[in-house]
Amino acid sequence: MTKYIFVTGGVVSSIGKGITSASLGRMLRNRGYTVAPVKLDPYINVDAGTMNPYQHGEVFVTDDGTETDLDLGHYERFIDVNCSSSSSITTGKVYRNVIEAERRGDYLGGTVQVIPHVTNEIKRLLIDAGAKEEADIVLAEIGGTVGDIESLPFLETIRQVRKDFGKENTLFVHVTLIPTVGPWNEIKTKPTQHSVINLRQIGISPDVLICRCEEDLGDDVKEKISLFCDVPMEAVIESRTAETIYEVPLMYEATGLGELVCDRLGLENRDANLGEWEEIVETIKNPKHSCRIGVVGKYTSNGDAYKSIAESLGHAGISSDCRVSIKWIESDVFEKDAAGKPGLAPEEALADLDGVVIAPGFGTRGIEGKIEALRYLRENGVPFLGICLGLQMAVIEFARNVCGITGAGSEEFETKENKVMDAVIHFIPDQTGITHKGGTMRLGSYPCHITSGTLAHEIYGESPIYERHRHRYEVNNDYRELLIKHGLHVSGVSPDYRLVEMIELQDHPFFIATQAHPEFKSRPNRPAPLFASFIEAVLKRKAKVMS
C-alpha cells in the first residue's frame, strides 16, 4: 500500500517546509523507495503562472508544461525526479474540477459542499499522483501556515486520509519555529505549543516535529516540547540553519529522522547511502576555486525570483570545484531615472565580475538596461549566458549595434504611443488571438536541433536536445538571414527550423543564449550543460587574466 507523508508548517511562513520535504524525499529515495512529491497550495490561482515574482518567487515549469510553485524545483533537485501536473494541487485547480463536475451533473443533483466534494477531489488528486508514479510514498507539503483559513480544506483532507488509510500508512510532520528572546537568548516553546493546538483543533496530531532553531535545544527543551505537544522525544527533531541547503538531508539523517520515518510507516530501514551527497556538500563548503557572477534581471530584489538560476550556478560550481558568488543586479540601474539622472555605466557595475547571466522576465521595465549591459559584455569579451528574454535582448542589441538596425525591438514592448520600427522579436504566430494569460505560453519540454560545429554542439554533444520553455515571443525570421550575415550564429532551431532556439558568437570567449530554461533541469550531481560550460569558460578566462 502507498504510504503518505504530510508536511505542514506553523508559527511563521517561509519556515522551510519545502527544504524539509525535499530532504525527506532524498533520504527515502536513497533508501531505494519511489517518492511522488506533491505541493498542495491554498491560493485560488489555478497555477502559479500569472503570479508576481516579487510576491511569490519564481514560477517553476515541469516537462509537461505545468507552471508551479518554486518548491517543486527543490523536489526535483533533491529527489532527482521529474515532477508533472499531478505534483501541483491548488485550490483553484480543485474548485475548477469540482465546478466542472457539478456542471456535468456528476453529483446527481446533490448540494456541492467543501465536505465531501472538495475534500474528495483533493484525495482523488493525491491518490492519482501516487498511482501515476507507482510510488511507494506520496510526500505532500501543504502550503501556508496552520491557522490560515485558506489551508483548512487541505488540512481536513489529510485528516480524512488518515481515517481512510490508517495510522500505519500516514505520517504527519509539522515544521515549526523555536525562537529565542531577550538578552540571554532564552528559548521559547510556546509558539510551537500553540501551533500544535491549532492542528489538534481540526483533528490532526503531529507525529514528528521539525523544530527550526538557532540554538541547541538540549534534552530539557525537547522533553518539554514532547510533553506539551504529545510527541515522542525522539520525534522532536532539531533543525538548525545549515551552511548550504544541500546539507539538510545529512543533518536530518544524523538525528535519526530517516530511521524514525521508516519505523513509523513500517518500511524497511535500508542503507541510506548518502556518500555522493556528502561529497557534494564537501565540495560546496571547501572548493578549490572561486568566481563572481552577475545576474542581471528584473526581479533581483526578491532572492527567490531566480531561484533555479542561482541553484544552477551553484551546481555548475560543484562540477568545477568552484564557489560561485552571485551579484544580483536590477537591470534598470543602467537606465535614466524618473528625474533624468543617468544610470550606472556597465563598466562601473560589471567590471568586477567574471561572467554575467542575463535572466528572464516580462514587460518593458529595465529592458534598455539589459541591452546596454549586453553591449558591454559582447564588446569586452566577458562570458555571457542568456536565458529566454536574455536571448531576445541579445538579438536586439546585436541588431542595433552590429547590423545597424537602430529601431530594433520587440513586439512585447510595443504600445499605441510607441511603435517598434523593426520587430526583430515578435509574437509567436501560433499565439495570435489568445487573450487569456494563464497557461497559454510555449510551455514545457520541446526538442531543439543543434547545429554541428557550434559551441552549443560542443556543450551538449548530441542532437536533438530537450529543454523546458516558458515564453511567447520568438526571433522574427524576416531578420534571421541579416543577423546571420553579420556574424550571429543560430546554433539551435526547432525541428521544423521555424523557431530560433539558441544563438551564439564564435569570436567570443563564451557568448551563448537560449530561448529555453535549462536551469529547471539542473541537479547538484548533474548540472545543466549550459551552466556547467559557462562556469568552465569563466574559470578559464579568469586564469588567463591572472596569468
Q: Which residues are catalytic?
A: 388, 517, 519
Asked whether the beta carbons of 513 and 450 are under 8 A apart, the reply is no
Q: How far apart are CA 324 and CA 530, in angstroms?
A: 15
211 by DSSP, 3-state: which? strand
∠ CA(138), CA(143), CA(148), 5° rounding?
Answer: 135
C-alpha cell at 475: 526571433
Please give the DSSP secondary-structure letter assigned to residue 141: E
Residue 252's CB: how many other CB atoms inside 10 A?
Answer: 22
Among candidate residues 448, 458, 446, the one with its CA nearest the CA of residue 530: 458
Residue 116's CB: how many other CB atoms inside 10 A?
Answer: 13
Alpha helix locations (H) across 306-460?
Answer: 307-319, 346-350, 367-379, 389-401, 455-460
Asked whether the beta carbons of 312 and 528 are under 8 A apart, the reply is yes
Q: How far apart are CA 463 and CA 457, in angstroms?
A: 8
Residue 458's CB: how many other CB atoms inside 10 A?
Answer: 13
Among candidate residues 253, 283, 520, the one with its CA nearest the CA of residue 388: 520
Q: Please state at what angle helix 248-255 crosses helix 275-285, rounded to 10 degrees.
A: 130
Asked whether the beta carbons of 91 and 43 are under 8 A apart, the reply is yes
Please give the DSSP secondary-structure letter assigned to residue 98: H
Per DSSP bridges, beta strands 3-9 and 170-177 are parallel
